[in-house]
Copies of this chain bind each other. A is one copy, B any other.
C-alpha cells in the first residue's frame, strides 16, 4: 500500500505535530472529552500560554477542534478519524514488545 508524495508529506506533518511530548499529552488529554485550556494546563502542570501555543498547532493540523463557551475555550479531538489514529498508536505502545528477535543488533550510539 503506497501513498502519493502529497499524502506522505501530509502524514509527516501530522506526525511532526504529534511528535512533541507536551503536545501529545495535550492531545491525549482532550481526546475523548472536552477540556478547557486552563484545565489542560492545570492537569499537565504547564503554563496556560504554552498550552495555548501548542493548541494552535494542533488546531492548524486539524487534530483538535475548539468550542468557545463564555470565558473558556474547550478543546476536543477533531473527529473519530483522529481518535482512531491516536487509539491505534496508544494501543501499540501499550502492548508488550515483541520477543521474535532472531538476533540483536548492536547498541546504536545515539548522541
Please tell me the size bucket of the interface on A: 35 or more
A93: chain B residues at CB < 8 Å are: 3, 7, 10-11, 14
Does A21 lie within 8 Å of B12, measured CB to CB?
yes
A109: chain B residues at CB < 8 Å are: 66, 68
A9 to B9, CA, bound (A): 23
Determine chain A's interface SS by DSSP, over half rule: helix
Tell me the A residues contacting B by CB distance below 8 Å.
1-3, 7-21, 23-25, 28, 56-57, 59-60, 62, 65-68, 76, 78-81, 84-85, 87-95, 97-101, 105-106, 108-111
**Extra contacts besides A10-B93, A60-B108 (17): CB < 8 Å:** A1-B87, A8-B25, A11-B89, A11-B90, A12-B23, A13-B21, A16-B16, A18-B19, A59-B105, A65-B108, A66-B108, A66-B109, A68-B109, A78-B108, A79-B98, A88-B88, A88-B92
